[in-house]
Amino acid sequence: MPSLRARLTNAFLRLTTKSMWRPGLDIQKVRAHGAKMDARLGRNAPPVAIEEVEIDGVKATWYGEPGLTERGTVLYLHGGAWCLHFPNMYRRHATNLSRLTGMRVLLPDYRLAPEHPFPAAIDDCLAVYRWLVEQGHAARPLAVAGDSAGGSLTLVTLMRARNAMLPMPGCAVLLSPSTDLTLSGPSAKYNADADPMFAAGAADLLPPLYCDGQDLRNPLISPLFGNWDGLPPLLFHAGSTEMLLDDSVRAHDRALQAGVTAEIEVWRDVPHVFQVFAWLPEAKLAMRKVADFIVQHAQPVQREMPMITSEPAAVVVGVEAEIRQSA
């Protein structure tokens, strides 16, 4: 059973967020709703050293003392359906990640749709990653992480960096990533009612905002269909009742098919990207596991660049891990 706090959070999200996914979605109303949630849920964030910077025209924020970069760097790409950003919640999240890993965390404020549709966001993320490499961060422990749409951006950034012959980070973490914007995974249907945050209407409402008129199987939009050769070790987290559950399950399988070291944990009855809800015992446990994975794998590794080959079809496999709960 999920914790009481997780059950209450699910009920809150079902009441306030799931109901928004209906025809005629107004992105400005969604942003106004998101800003209220951000102010409420992101308050009382722990103190942390913050440095705002601009990298090749992309605004970004460092979390943690500058000296922490000697211990390593985490490039974190926030979620928000490519259209939203919750600065207070992600300030807390990035602060927590920095504290747990002992590394400095860089969170870019990539351009948002619909004002800046595809490929603006993926170009911004690659520009920031390239800058980190040029500044020597790949010679020290380096990880890339992201959640939801930021998980998609993480995978796309890795694939584009590999194709550009840039050094790979030591590892990457994907928290409830969107990997298939066609929503062809079975969980998009069988979890449509159980998911406390998303509804079936999201499949019709989000693509026109982010990538109107584009082929949704384009690997730059749906990295599930991309080439996975040569990617660094990957950790996937997802919730058992998420519509996007199979985005993680199938992506994990694609990684294994390509010979990539990959792990997946499916957490029972928790909301989409539950790790940002810092008050959940499941989030505390999950973030410790994320930090352990990053510390273990983020060391710089020299890898030969793979030949880019044609892609086999994805295979769906079922994976679920039993979780422990903390008090």
Is pLDDT of 106 > 90?
A: yes
* 44-68 mean pLDDT: 92
Active-site residue, 85 included: no
* 226-243 mean pLDDT: 98
176, 237, 242, 248: the catalytic one is 242
Active-site residue, 19 included: no
Closest CA to 131 of 75, 198, 65: 75
Q: 181 to each of 10, 109, 197, how far by Cα in Å?
A: 24, 22, 17
Report the DSSP pairing between strands 73-77 and 104-108: parallel
34-43, 73-82, 227-236, range with the lowest pLDDT: 34-43
CB 155 within 8 A of CB 126: no
Q: What is the pLDDT of residue 310?
A: 38
CB 91 within 8 A of CB 42: yes
98, 148, 178, 222: the catalytic one is 148
Question: Where are the alpha helices (H) located in the chain, listed in sequence order?
Answer: 4-16, 27-41, 87-101, 120-134, 149-163, 187-190, 202-211, 245-257, 281-297
- Record the tokens describing residue 31, joined without a space: 């942003």
CB 14 within 8 A of CB 193: no
- pTM here is 0.91
The pLDDT tens digits of the residues spanning 236-276 come to 999 999 999 999 999 999 999 999 999 999 999 999 999 99
Closest CA to 147 of 99, 80, 207: 80
- Record the tokens describing residue 131, joined without a space: 């800058």
Phi and psi dihedrals of 318, rounded to 5?
-100, 130
- The residue assigned the tokens 């002992």 is 102
Report the DSSP pairing between strands 50-55 and 73-77: unpaired
Mean pLDDT over the full length of the chain: 90
Active-site residue, 242 included: yes
Give the SS3 label for residue 152. helix
Closest CA to 284 of 37, 31, 92, 125: 92
Q: What is the pLDDT of residue 23?
A: 80
* 276-305 mean pLDDT: 89
CATH superfamily label, 4-297:
Alpha/Beta hydrolase fold, catalytic domain (3.40.50.1820)
